[in-house]
Amino acid sequence: MTNSMRYADGDFDRAAECREDPEWLAARLAHDSSRVYPIWRHRFLFQEQRVPVALAPAAAGRLAGLEHSVLLGVIDDTAHFTIDVSTLSEDGLATAIAGAAHDLRDVAMNLSDRMAAMLAFGRGMSVWHVDHQFCGRCGGPTKIERAGHARRCLDKGCGRLHFPRTDPAVITLVIDGERCLLARRATIDIPRFSTVAGFVEPGETLEDAVRREVVEEVGVLTGAVMYRASQPWPFPSSLMMGFWARATSSAIKVDGEEIGEAAWFTRADIDRALAADEIILPPEDSISRRLVEDWRNLAEGTIIEGLE
């Protein structure tokens, strides 16, 4: 990896040891310097699409109970939290907070690496809390604990403690000599050509998942699989694990439902197609783009060690 990747470079202290320290939490939630980011229906608020709105705890507490806040971490001795204000109406939100609600993805490229990573963490936690109001085992209501990093089932006979979930997904650039495979999803009507991705199934290794997804989506067999990097992808709750894979067959057969079309591209093919506006590459904030760009940046004829 040559430079930073969105959501993945958060040099902030997650302060995990403080999550179960009620005195520390109470002090931080009473301190004016702490920052609380309101999150409304999974969107943060921003000024000019680049400055995230952060409130002092007292102001945040007037919008929602501070006991529902989630500790994101500590930067230079300042504690950062999110608080869900989704019960506000759209008008109520506009009245209460000066800023516009945006999905993180739409503004992430305007943020610092650290802020993008911290808000990605907050977004993933927000989705998890909303989706886990009830116990998956007994159906009883759950209650927030550990500064937002656990939920406990309130049913007396159950009491199960639930922790935040992340769904592992593999994302793969298939390589065949001096060309790579790019595919367009059937559900989008712009010519965005991307890598192949899918969720890891229970009982499956990452390598198995790569080979299965590639053959399912584009009909190509793959042999050697090389891990490249990972990226948190809280849209809504994935961890993307990026690979390059070596093709061992070349005939493409798309399923037509998930993937609309796919083709092999040399580096020159990509340059030409981009210049002619025939294709669009994956979004800049995505690991998919990184997998493609890292391969494009290799000189023609480069032996990729581990993939031969």
Q: Which residues bind Zn ion (CB under 5 A)?
A: 135, 137-138, 140, 153, 155, 158, 160
For Zn ion, the closer of residues 135 and 196 by Cβ is 135
Kindly state the smallest distance separating residue 130's Cβ from Zn ion, in Å: 18
Kindly state the smallest distance separating residue 158's Cβ from Zn ion, in Å: 3
For Zn ion, the closer of residues 163 and 199 by Cβ is 163
For Zn ion, the closer of residues 158 and 280 by Cβ is 158
Kindly state the smallest distance separating residue 129's Cβ from Zn ion, in Å: 16
Kindly state the smallest distance separating residue 154's Cβ from Zn ion, in Å: 8
| Residue 65: exposure state from Cβ atoms within 10 A (0-12, 13-18, ≥19) | exposed
Residue 44 Cα to chain centre, angstroms? 15
Kindly state the smallest distance separating residue 117's Cβ from Zn ion, in Å: 32
Query: Quick one: which of 61, 58, 75, 64 has its CA closest to 129?
Result: 64
**How many residues make up the chain in this entry?**
308
For Zn ion, the closer of residues 16 and 161 by Cβ is 161
For Zn ion, the closer of residues 140 and 219 by Cβ is 140
State the Rg of the chain over Cα.
22
Kindly state the smallest distance separating residue 164's Cβ from Zn ion, in Å: 17
Do the bridges between strand 78-84 and strand 35-40 make them parallel or antiparallel, or are there none, so unpaired?
parallel
By the 8 A CB rule, do 55 and 40 touch?
no
Kindly state the smallest distance separating residue 161's Cβ from Zn ion, in Å: 10
For Zn ion, the closer of residues 161 and 268 by Cβ is 161
For Zn ion, the closer of residues 137 and 253 by Cβ is 137
Kindly state the smallest distance separating residue 306's Cβ from Zn ion, in Å: 45
The three state secondary structure string of 163-198 is CCCCEEEEEEEEEECCEEEEEEECCCCCCECECEEE
- Please state, in angstroms and rounded to a whole number, the distance separating the CA atoms of residues 281 and 301: 23
For Zn ion, the closer of residues 65 and 139 by Cβ is 139
- Please state, in angstroms and rounded to a whole number, the distance separating the CA atoms of residues 159 and 236: 26
